[in-house]
Amino acid sequence: MFNQLFNKEFLISLYKRKKLLGFVFITSLLLSSIIAFLLPKQYKSTVTIFPARHFSTSKLLIEQNFGNQEDYMQLGDEDDAEKVIQILNSDILKLKVADALNLWEMWKLKDTTFRIHYLKLKWDDMVTIKRTDLNSIKIEAYNYTANNAAKLANAISGYCDTVRFEMTKRVAQTALNIVSKELDHTVEMMHELEDSLQSLRKIGVLDYKNEVEAYSKSYAKAMEKGNNQGMAAIEKKLDILRSYGGNYLAIEENLKKYRFKYPVLKSKYDEALVNLNQNLPFKFEIEKAIPNEYKARPKRATIILLSVFGSLFFSIVILLIKEKLSKINFND
**CATH number of the domain residue 118 falls in:** 3.30.1890.10
Q: Tell me the average pLDDT across 17-30.
A: 74
CA 155/CA 143 separation, integer angstroms? 13
Is the pLDDT at 66 greater than 90, yes or no? no
Instruction: Answer whether residue 59 is part of any domain.
Output: yes
For residue range 199-256, what is the model confidence (pLDDT) as tens digits? Answer: 776 776 656 566 655 566 665 666 666 666 666 665 666 666 666 666 777 777 888 8
Question: For position 196, what pLDDT does the model report?
Answer: 81
User: Do 191 and 45 reside in the same domain of the chain?
Assistant: no
CA 158/CA 193 separation, integer angstroms? 51
CA 188/CA 162 separation, integer angstroms? 37
Q: pLDDT-based confidence at 114, cuts 50/70/90? A: confident
Q: Tell me the average pLDDT across 127-154.
A: 92
Structural domain range at position 78:
38-172+279-300
Instruction: Answer whether residue 32 is part of any domain.
Output: no
Instruction: Answer whether residue 305 is part of any domain.
Output: no
User: Do 136 and 238 reside in the same domain of the chain?
Assistant: no
Instruction: Answer whether residue 251 is part of any domain.
Output: yes
Q: Tell me the average pLDDT across 143-154.
A: 93
Percentage of the chain exceeding pLDDT 90: 22
More confident residue, 66 or 224: 224
Q: pLDDT-based confidence at 155, cuts 50/70/90? A: very high
Instruction: Answer whether residue 205 is part of any domain.
Output: yes
Are the C-beta atoms of 156 and 47 separated by less than 8 Å?
yes
Question: For position 67, what pLDDT does the model report?
Answer: 45
Is the pLDDT at 70 greater than 80, yes or no? no
User: Do 225 and 134 reside in the same domain of the chain?
Assistant: no
User: Do 294 and 163 reside in the same domain of the chain?
Assistant: yes
User: Do 159 and 291 reside in the same domain of the chain?
Assistant: yes
Instruction: Answer whether residue 309 is part of any domain.
Output: no
Q: What are phi and psi of 268, to 5 degrees?
A: -65, -35
User: Do 267 and 283 reside in the same domain of the chain?
Assistant: no
Instruction: Answer whether residue 25 is part of any domain.
Output: no
For residue range 265-324, what is the model confidence (pLDDT) as tens digits? Answer: 888 888 888 877 877 777 888 888 888 888 877 666 676 778 777 877 777 777 777 766
Overall number of domains in the chain? 2
User: Do 287 and 178 reside in the same domain of the chain?
Assistant: no
If you average pLDDT over every residue of the chain, what do you get? 77
Which helix (H) or strand (E) element contains residue 321?
Answer: helix 300-326
User: Do 146 and 50 reside in the same domain of the chain?
Assistant: yes
Specify which of 26-30, 125-129, 198-202, 284-288 reaches the highest per-range mean pLDDT: 125-129
Question: For position 300, what pLDDT does the model report?
Answer: 66
Question: For position 1, what pLDDT does the model report?
Answer: 47
